[in-house]
Amino acid sequence: MAVIIDGKKISQEIKDEVRTETENGGIDACLAVIIVGEDPASQVYVNNKKKACEYCGIRSLSYELAGNTSEEELLELIEKLNSDPSVDGILVQLPLPGHIDEDRVIEAIDPGKDVDGFSRKSVGALSIGSNGFVSCTPAGIIELLKRSGIDIEGKECVIMGRSNIVGKPMAMLMLRENATVTVVHSRTRHIEDVCRRADILIVAIGKPEMITHDYVKDGAVVIDVGIHRIDPEKNNGRKLCGDVDYEDVEPIASYITPVPGGVGPMTIAMLMKNVLKAAKER
Ligand code: GUN
């Protein structure tokens, strides 16, 4: 029987801390959110980010651009927001339509306003341990572990997945916390054996319920970054699942994050923290 890590509760604590700081410190922070096109999932994420801003006492500016907006137009908007002193953070919701080069867009954001932490400068700063914005999902996982009283130092941590947004920055953060870090991926041999070495197993592979007890050591901490829509009629009314087969893994784990309500809510809470940091540093 595992302790369930309550990401909803912990994310609420963090948002309350941000709100207290903006209120008591009289900090006038502002996030510009840009969305291009009408991807329904992205619209939900962006709306949740705007709502979180409102709760935290952060002003948000919303730019909803048509799906046929050109790369040049988007870059011009970013340039305008870069030079606007009243804007602290700039977030471009991904994915962008195929005709726009995401890398070029991310690199156009002023590193001092890159609250997503996706730019080369932010990633580089994280790699060498200097001050910068850390990508929100991995930063949120560190908060989940620390606020649940889980020691990281000296532990074997296995990260499944090597994406630029989660796997790679997660590895850097766990190293910073003095864990022994292994990153496994689709080409890793004997992957189950490697995963079973983990005291802390962080799963970000994007495959619904792939991780069963065969991948998990007795007493391991299991963090599930995945989120997938599933058919409620075939799944006892459940609408969402993670990368981890929760029913199968929970009995042998010491701590586990549920889906929904685990890692997901932390991403937005950490974004709010990054916007506050941007405002304080300017
Ligand atoms: N799309 C999915 N997750 C994210 C995120 O954390 N930030 C941005 N900008 N786009 C996303």
For the chain, domains (ranges, CATH) are 26-116 (3.40.50.10860), 136-264 (3.40.50.720)
Q: Report yes or no: 225 and 259 within 8 Å, Cβ to Cβ.
A: no
- Is the minimum distance from the CB of 22 to ligand 1 under 6 angstroms? no
45 CA distance to ligand 1 middle (Å): 8
Q: Give the model's confidence band at 94: pLDDT under 50 very low, under 70 low, under 90 confident, else very high.
A: very high
Closest to 136 in 3D by CA, of 278, 34, 272: 272
Answer yes or no: 80 catalytic.
no
- The residue contributing the CA closest to ligand 1 atom 3 is 94
- Residue-wise pLDDT for 37-69, tens only, equals 999 999 999 999 999 999 999 999 999 999 999
Given 6, 15, 88, 93, the catalytic residue: 93
CB atoms within 10 A of CB 261: 16
What pTM was computed for the model?
Answer: 0.97
- The residue contributing the CA closest to ligand 1 atom 9 is 93
Stretch 75-96: mean pLDDT: 98
pLDDT at 241 over 90: yes
- What is the Cα 122 distance to its own chain's centre? 15
- Is the minimum distance from the CB of 114 to ligand 1 under 6 angstroms? no
Phi-psi region of 129 (alpha: psi -120 to 50; beta: other; left: phi over 0): left
197 CA distance to ligand 1 middle (Å): 31
Average pLDDT, the chain: 98
pLDDT at 282: 87
pLDDT at 86: 98
% of the chain residues with pLDDT over 90: 99
pLDDT at 115 over 90: yes
Answer yes or no: 155 catalytic.
no
Q: Is the dihedral of CA 258, 259, 261, 264 positive or negative?
A: positive
Kindly state the DSSP code that residue 135 receives in the 8-state scheme: P
